[in-house]
Amino acid sequence: MSFPQSDLVQRGISDEFYQALEAAVGAAHVVVDPKAMEPRLIEDRGLYRGSALALVRPGTTEEVAKVVRVCRAAAVPIVPQGGNTGLVGGGVPQDAVVLVTDRLNRIRAVDPLNSTMTVEAGCILSNIQQAANDIDRLFPLSLASEGSCQIGGNLSTNAGGTAVLRYGNMRELVLGLEVVLPDGEILNDLNGLRKNNTGYDLRNLFIGAEGTLGIITAAVLKLYSKPVLRATALVACEGPQAALALYDRLRSRNADSLSTFEYIERIALQMVLDHTPGCADPMAQEHPAYVLVELTSSDPEADLDTRLEAALAAAFEVEEILDAVIGASESQRDALWALRENLSEAQKFAGASIKHDVAVPVSRVAEFLMTASSACRAHVPAVRICPFGHFGDGNIHFNLSRPLDMSDADFLEEYPAFNRIVHDIVAELGGSISAEHGIGLVKRQELRRYKDPVALRVMEQIKTVLDPEGLMNPGKVL
Q: Which stretch binds a copy of itself (CB under 8 A): 3-11, 339-347, 413-421, 463-471?
A: 463-471
- Amino acid identity of residue 58, one-letter, is P
User: What is the rounded CA–CA span in Å between residue 372 and residue 148?
Assistant: 34
As measured in angstroms, the least distance from the Cβ of 309 to a copy of itself is 13
Q: Which stretch binds a copy of itself (CB under 8 A): 23-31, 41-49, 123-131, 425-433?
A: 425-433
Give yes or no for residue 318 binding a copy of itself (CB under 8 A).
no
As measured in angstroms, the least distance from the Cβ of 84 to a copy of itself is 18
Which residues lie closer than 8 Å to 196 by C-beta, 6 or more apart?
none
CA 70: distance to chain centroid?
31
Give yes or no for residue 111 binding a copy of itself (CB under 8 A).
yes
Which of positions 354-373 make contact with a copy of itself (CB under 8 A)?
359-364
As measured in angstroms, the least distance from the Cβ of 210 to a copy of itself is 9
Strands 51-56 and 94-100: parallel
| DSSP for residue 478 | -
- Give burial (CB, 10 Å; 0-12/13-18/19+) of 300: exposed
Which of positions 255-274 make contact with a copy of itself (CB under 8 A)?
255-257
Q: Which is nearer to a copy of itself, 301 or 317 (CB)?
A: 301
H/E element, 111: strand 107-111
As measured in angstroms, the least distance from the Cβ of 43 to a copy of itself is 16
Pick the binder of a copy of itself from 78, 79, 123, 164 (CB under 8 A): 164
Q: Which residues lie across from 222 on neighbouring strands?
A: 116
- Amino acid identity of residue 475, one-letter, is G
Q: Which is nearer to a copy of itself, 265 or 467 (CB)?
A: 467
As measured in angstroms, the least distance from the Cβ of 87 to a copy of itself is 11
User: What is the rounded CA–CA span in Å between residue 233 and residue 59?
Assistant: 45
**In a 3-state reduction of DSSP, which class is residue 90?**
coil
Q: Which of 81, 56, 62 is nearest to 188 (CA)?
A: 62
Q: Which is nearer to a copy of itself, 153 or 282 (CB)?
A: 153
Measured in Å, how far apart are the chain's first and last C-alpha atoms?
Answer: 36
User: What is the rounded CA–CA span in Å between residue 163 and residue 143?
Assistant: 8
Pick the binder of a copy of itself from 85, 145, 169, 419 (CB under 8 A): 169
Do residues 380 and 354 make contact, with C-beta atoms less than 8 angstroms apart?
A: no
As measured in angstroms, the least distance from the Cβ of 94 to a copy of itself is 20
Which of positions 194-223 make contact with a copy of itself (CB under 8 A)?
194-205, 207-209, 213
Q: Which stretch binds a copy of itself (CB under 8 A): 157-165, 262-270, 337-345, 397-405?
A: 157-165
Q: Which is nearer to a copy of itself, 29 or 443 (CB)?
A: 443
- Amino acid identity of residue 280, one-letter, is A
As measured in angstroms, the least distance from the Cβ of 397 to a copy of itself is 11
Q: Which is nearer to a copy of itself, 22 or 436 (CB)?
A: 436
Which of positions 372-411 make contact with a copy of itself (CB under 8 A)?
390, 393-395
Give yes or no for residue 72 binding a copy of itself (CB under 8 A).
no
Q: Which of 230, 222, 228, 218 is nearest to 139 (CA)?
A: 222
DSSP string, 252-295: HHHTTTEEEEEEEEHHHHHHHHHHSTT---SSSS--SEEEEEEE
Which of positions 42-61 make contact with a copy of itself (CB under 8 A)?
none
Pick the binder of a copy of itself from 144, 309, 456, 470 (CB under 8 A): 456
Which of positions 2-41 make contact with a copy of itself (CB under 8 A)?
none
